[in-house]
Every structure is written in structure tokens, then in C-alpha cells.
Structure 1
Amino acid sequence: MLVLTRWFRRTLVSGVCVAGLLGAGVIPALAEPGDPGDPGIEAPAPPPPPGELPPPPPLPWELPPPPPAPDAPPPGEVPPPPAPTTPPPGAPPTGDVPPLPVGLLKNSPNNGDVVGVAQPVTIVFAAPVTDKKAAEAAVKITTSKPVPGYFYWYTDQQLRWKPTQFWPANTDVNVNAGGTRWSFKVGDAFVSTVDDATFTMTVTRNGVVERTMPMSMGKHDKKHETKNGTYYVSEKFQKMVMDSSTYGVPVNSAEGYKLDVFWATRLSNSGIFVHAAPWSVGAQGKQDTSHGCINLSTDNATWYFNQSHPGDPVIVKNSPGGPYKDYDGYDDWQRF
């Protein structure tokens, strides 16, 4: 019987195991130093130390917060409240309004107009209004500056609103009449004072004198004196025909006339204009010779025509003609 030593038995068993593995092709080749190995095989992560588990992934509420928005307030600071939308003190209330009791026919100023500081808001209804309180309740006026004012009825068909004093210069105005809305802007305070004591017309813009002009107005014959009071510009004509027969004086009479007039700015529906009167330049600044209009030189009348807007006030004072209350549509500042 063959007796094998212990060493020989171990060597024989090891050789058989190695031969078996080689035959199965499962022993990997060892890479040389610097050998990149098999590019198709990715080395596994090293195992954690014995007895230690890997940390779990973070939960959603444990993730870091997103960066703040660029316009966000600093941490702990309360953002300011939104700007108020209420009207300024003195303005009529805003909000929804009831319908007008009678349809709206037209309005003045129109949407987008720029007007002077004496311009009233005018609403003309399609028919006479009997429920005047309901009509007033259906009209709301809001302003960009505090402007106290009031409604008044010029006729049963015409509602107006004006400030208690001239509008503040450069005020934005919004009107809502039964759901119909429009806006306009009050421009500079372009105010003219016509003083019969000095025969001058002085024009200021926002309180600063821009021009003082010699003038001649209605002659003192107890028929043509220009009346005292606050007028305001209504319309302008670069050229127009003035005809005395339009107010009852025949053209062929001693006081009659019919002639072309230039740079005419209307102040009333009773025939008062500021206009160029080259025929009276010699009297301007010295005496009154007109039929009621304010006569200026062509240069001064052109300047005023180009600078003025509807609603710019013209204040006549120191005339012997009495107060301006002609019920002609433009005496708002005298009657109301």
C-alpha cells in the first residue's frame, strides 16, 4: 500500500483545485501595474468597514432650500403692503356706479384732452332729467390730486362738475358716468388778467408772468363795455368772419361791421373774443375802443392763440361794464 506524506497530500489537492478552476476558465488574470484593466468592467465601490452600514439618502424635507428670488425681502423682513387705490381726499368716491337715469348724449372734456384750470366737466343727457339726485349718484370723478368740488345743473339736460377753486395744475382726471369712462388732463395754470385800469392783459404760467400786453376792450358807451368776471377759453379760430348782424346790429348801421378777423380765441357765447386788431394798435394800452372784445396786436394775439388751451381762465376786472352773467354757457365761475 502506498503511504503518502502529509505535505504531498496538501500539494496534490491544491494542484487539483487549480487545474479545475483553470479548466472552468474562472480565474481572472492579474493586471500588471499601470494596466487599465478591462474597460467593460466597472470596479465596484469599496465595501464599508465590517459592522458599519452606509448612510441613507436625504429625505425631501431635508434637502437645502432653493435660493431666494432677486427681489425677495431679507429674511425676517415683512414686505410693505400694496399701495392704496382709494381716491385722494376731496375727490368724489370711486367704484361701481349705477346706470344713468337718462342716456348720455355727449361730454366735455373729451377723452385724452388737455385743458386749462377753469374747465368744468360737462355731461349732456339725451333728454331732460327729472331724477337729478340719481343722475349725480351715477357720476364719479377721481383725480390724481385732492380736488374738492361739486355738481350743478346748468339746464335740466346738462349736469356739470367743477372744483371749488381752479384745478391744481397738472392733474389727471377720470370720469365714470353710468359705466361710460373717459379721462383728461389739466395742464399748466395759464391764467390771464385783463385790467381796464391799466389797459393791459397780463398772462402767468404757474404763477410766473410770461407776458404783459397792451390791450383795448369794450368802449364806454353803456352798450359795449366788457363785463367783469372769470371767462375761460372755449374754442379758437385762426381766421373767422365777425358780423354785427349776428347779435342784432345791421352791418350797414353806424355800429355795424362785417370783417375777417385773425387769431380769434373765444371766451363766451355772447361774442367776446381775444383777437388780433391791427386797426386799434394805436389805442391799445391807452383807451377802450372795441365792441366788447379784447383787442391785441397781431403778434400778441398770435402768441396767445398758440399758447392757450380750452379751459384757460381770463379774468376781466375794473371795467364799468358790470358783472359777467350772460347765461351763455361759459359763465360757470360767475353763477355757480
Structure 2
Amino acid sequence: MKSRLVEKKDLFSWIDRLAKANEVIAPVKQENFTKFAPISSAAQIVWGAPQSVLPPKQFFSPQQETLLRYEFQEKEIKLQSEVIAQKRILVGVHPCDLNAIYLMDQVWAEKNKDDYYLAKRQSAILVGVDCLIPCSPEAFCLRMGGLDPKQRFDLFITDLGKNFLVEIQTSAGEKLLGNLGKEAKAADFKKLSAFRKKRNALFSRRQPKLLPKYQDLPKLMKSNYQHPLWEERGKKCYGCGSCNMVCPTCYCFDVKDQLEIDLKEGTRDRVWDGCLLADFAKVGSGENFRERRSDRLRHRTYRKLYYLFEKWGESFCTGCGRCVRACLTKIVSPLEIANELGKK
């Protein structure tokens, strides 16, 4: 993998130039929160904490998107697909979100490929940024492997003090960066290694520990299906679905037809859905397969730490901590649940 050493002022100027010619999305401040939004200058970017409320997956899987438009004509129904993709450059994406996007790429490209997601994803360039400190007190990314970007990016920026080291993973990233800076040397990689070792030690001290072994999480979940924890925590759950909405790896959706008042045309739209919501598992007959909140909480946790872990070989919780922060009763943390189930 190629890498370049870039002076900070040069990298900021490079982003300014990109923003003039492209749609550049980055974390920006909005009152007391951070969100991903289009920028016009590098000065707007929030490089570290606080973490964005919603993950950047919203630019590939929007909260609401039109799948197709239909029009009732005299002898036929006219259908028009709405696969829309535009070039976007996402800058300042944290490792936990890079890992989440990678996992979503696998899901949406499997078997029945989703053209809507993939068109947006393939038109985007991801410029990640290394975390210097935990981005929130709720985060536990180190424990879930979310702190390591695992080369799941086009470009990746690490602050080495006077300069940025920019790792180049793809040809698209290399083309975008061009000849900015100079080729990184052995001394630069030594600094990078020292930084990450020191950084990991800091995260290890500050973030809550995962008591079970990471690779044992599916086995732990499988053996605790009837544990009283689910009922205890389920009683406190409001079923609001906040944990689903802020999670970077939740991808369930509902499909709705929106018909115009003249009954001549309409749209078929896809909207986010969540397994903690009361009607998520309700079918046309009125039967609800997960009516109890404890069942829904268990299902969400099993999706993250068991079902999808076994299928894809890694946790579908990247430890970003957004669900912990969003949960009104603080009962949804996958790490806390795993620790409680793992007690001897």
C-alpha cells in the first residue's frame, strides 16, 4: 500500500479545491451536535469528537428513497426506475464507520444485489481519518475491532503532528490525491506505528472492557437464549427504535406505495425500519412474531453478535457507541449485554 506525507496546510487546501469541483461530505458542527453534510471548506470539518449523531451510511441507504415511479395510462402501467447516483467524496470518516460501510457493502451485494445502494456506493470515495482519542464516552470500538480501518477505504489520514500521513488503498484514491505531498519513508511509518501503539493504549485505558473473548461472542449468545437478562432489560425498553436508527450496520427497511390524489401516478418508496419497533414483525393476519420488547431486544443483539457474526466472520457491532448514547434507558449496549452474559 502506498502512502504520502502531506503538510497540513496543503491537505486543507486540497480539500478546499475538491469542494469547489465536487460534492464533499464531512462531519460538521450543528449546535451541540455533529452531522455529515456537504462542505465548501476544510475549515468546516470536525476531525475528531464529538461523533456524528447519524452514521454516513445515510448517503448510500437514505432514510427515504424512491425506488420507482409509476403512471397509470389507458392500456398500461408505465414504470420508471429511480436508480440515482452522483459522485461524492466523504472526508473524515472514522474507522468504526469505514468498517460498517464495508459490512454493508457485503450485505447489499450478496445474491439479489441492490442496485440502489451499490450505485451510490460505487460513485463514492471514502477518505477516512484516524481517531486520536475516543470520540464519545459510550464508544468501545477497540473492543469490537472497529478502531482498525483494515484497509477499507480509498484514502486514510493520520495526524502525525506537523504532517498528515495519507495511506492510499485504491486507484480511485491515488488519482484523487495526485502528487500531493511526498512519498512516505521508513521513518514516517515508524512514527505511524508508534502513534497507533500509544493510541491503542489510551483507548484501552478509557474504553470499557469486553470480558468474553471477541471470537467467542456467537457461542456466548447461542448458549444464553433463555437468560433472564432479556426480560430484565426488555421491561425498561420503550421500543422507540432509536438504537436502530443511529446504528451504522442496521439495514432493514419497509416499502410503501405513495399514490397521488388523482390516482393516476405514484411512487414506491423505501424507508428505514427497525427491529425494536412494535410492528416490525407483525404480518397481515395480525400475528406479531416478536410482540414482546424483550424478544425484540434479544433479536437485535443476536443480529449483531451472533447471526451475522457467524455468517460474515466478524461482529456487526463496530463499537461506535451511538446506540448507547441514543437509548433513553441505557439497556441496549451490546458490550454490556455480552459482559453480563459472560459472567461466571
Q: TM-score scaled to structure 1, two decimals? A: 0.26
Higher RCO (C-alpha 8 Å, min separation 6): 2
Counting helix residues as a fraction of each chain, which structure ranks higher?
2
Larger-gyration structure (1/2)? 1
Counting strand residues as a fraction of each chain, which structure ranks higher?
1
Q: TM-score scaled to structure 2, two decimals? A: 0.25
